[in-house]
Amino acid sequence: SAPAPGAVHVPGWLPFARQRELVAACREFGRGPLSYEATVLPGGGVMSVRSLCLGRRWEPYRYLGKEESLVELPGWLVDLGRDALVEAYGEHGEFAPDTALVNFYGDGARMGMHQDREERSPAPVVSLSLGDTCVFRLGNTEDRGRPYTDVELVSGDLFVFGGPSRFAYHGVPKVYAGTAAPGLGLRGRLNITLRETGL
Ligand code: MD3
Ligand code: FE
pLDDT at 133 exceeding the cut of 90:
yes
Q: Give mean pLDDT, residues 96-109.
A: 97
What distance in angstroms lies between residue 31's CA and the mean position of ligand 1's atoms? 24
pLDDT at 96 exceeding the cut of 70:
yes
pLDDT tens-digit readout, 46-88:
999 999 999 999 988 899 876 667 899 999 999 999 999 999 9
On whether the CB atoms of residues 131 and 180 are closer than 8 A, the answer is yes
For ligand 1, residues with CB inside 6 Å are 101, 103, 111, 116, 125, 127, 159, 161, 165-166, 168, 170, 172, 191, 193
Helix (H, G, I), strand (E, B) or coil at 186: coil
What distance in angstroms lies between residue 66's CA and the mean position of ligand 1's atoms? 22
Domain ranges of the chain: 7-195
* Residue bearing the bigger pLDDT, 4 or 113: 113
**Above pLDDT 70, what percent of the chain?**
98
pLDDT at 37 exceeding the cut of 80:
yes
For the chain, report the end-to-end CA distance as a whole number of angstroms.
Answer: 31
Q: What angle do CA 116, 117, 123 make, to 5 degrees?
A: 85
Kindly state which CATH superfamily the domain 7-195 is placed in.
Alpha-ketoglutarate-dependent dioxygenase AlkB-like (2.60.120.590)
Distance of CA 154 to the CA centre of its chain: 13
